[in-house]
Amino acid sequence: MFTKLYLGSVLLEPKRWSKERHPSIDLREWTPRMLAAGFDGWDMWEFHDQTPPLGEVRVYNSYLLPEEASPEAITDLAERVKRSKATMLKFNVGKAPEAPSRAVPVMMDLAERCPGVDLLCECHPGTALEDPEVAIPWVDVLPERFGVILHPLGEENTILHRYLEAIPERVRLMHLQLKNLETGKRALLEERPDVVRARLEELFELGFDGPATLEFTRGVGGGPEDVPEKLFENAQKDLAFLQIR
């Protein structure tokens, strides 16, 4: 079982992929409901960052590419992360082959500005670190506060095995989302129960003992279910599935 289960605020946000990325929901209104449902805090989409602090942010989900960021942007991000009281910061690097090496001094500076915060690379498809053979040696030489986020229900088994065999102590967080194989759309975890259970059992057998974020659920991506109330209802179904797994 995961040690903690967080709710990705991006899951609730219908404008998550809009060009402007102006949020349509106020997380301060959703925080009591998120906690009452049984989640352990927010994995907060940075565009939901609001003042005063929410007080229940565990992961600060940044979209700032470090190798392209100005010193002013890094200073601003550090202040926002500290204000949120998050203990983890999610980041990515860009597509260029040199992006990872260019990101290192920036992220080292950011780490110094954010004491007590783990800096976690999502190693997302479409970035220079999507290949574990590139990402593993890159993160392995960085200080211990640097780690990675994996997607156990979407990535190939071999990717999970590679990370958890090579750098198990650097695998700090899981992002959970599932797709319907026929439609390609996001699905409830209960729609493919055997697959989900088998993947998670494998994950824990490989030694993972940490938290996870419910990143997406059915309805994310458009359509009649892509509204906050319905998305939250589906998120609660996924949480219930995980709790009785």
Per-residue pLDDT reduced to its tens digit, 100-145: 999 999 999 999 999 999 999 998 889 999 999 999 999 999 999 9
What are the C-alpha distances in Å from 31 to residues 40, 113, 136, 189? 10, 27, 35, 23
Q: Determine the pLDDT at residue 51.
A: 77
Q: What percent of the chain has pLDDT over 90?
A: 88
Per-residue pLDDT, averaged over 24-45, amounts to 96
Residue 124 near residue 90, CB atoms below 8 Å: no
Q: Determine the pLDDT at residue 154.
A: 82
Per-residue pLDDT, averaged over 56-74, amounts to 96
pLDDT digits (tens, 9 = 90+) for 148-196: 999 999 867 789 999 999 999 999 999 999 999 888 899 999 999 999 9
Q: How far is CA 166 from the centre of its chain?
A: 21
| Closest alpha carbon to 213 in 235, 191, 231 | 235
Cα 36 from Cα 205, distance rounded (Å): 30
Cα 117 from Cα 103, distance rounded (Å): 17
pLDDT digits (tens, 9 = 90+) for 188-232: 999 999 999 999 999 999 999 999 999 999 999 989 999 999 999
Q: Determine the pLDDT at residue 245.
A: 58
Instruction: Give the angle 210-119-228 at the CA atoms, nearest 5°.
Output: 70
Q: Determine the pLDDT at residue 229.
A: 98
Q: How many CB atoms lie within 10 A of CB 205?
A: 9
Q: Determine the pLDDT at residue 89.
A: 98
Element (H, E) at 44: strand 42-45
pLDDT digits (tens, 9 = 90+) for 37-53: 999 999 999 999 987 77
Per-residue pLDDT, averaged over 22-26, amounts to 92
Residue 245 near residue 38, CB atoms below 8 Å: no
CB-based contacts of 90, cutoff 8 Å, min separation 6: 43, 59, 60, 61, 62, 120, 121, 122, 149, 173
pLDDT at 244 over 80: no
Q: What percent of the chain has pLDDT over 70?
A: 99
Q: How many CB atoms lie within 10 A of CB 98?
A: 11
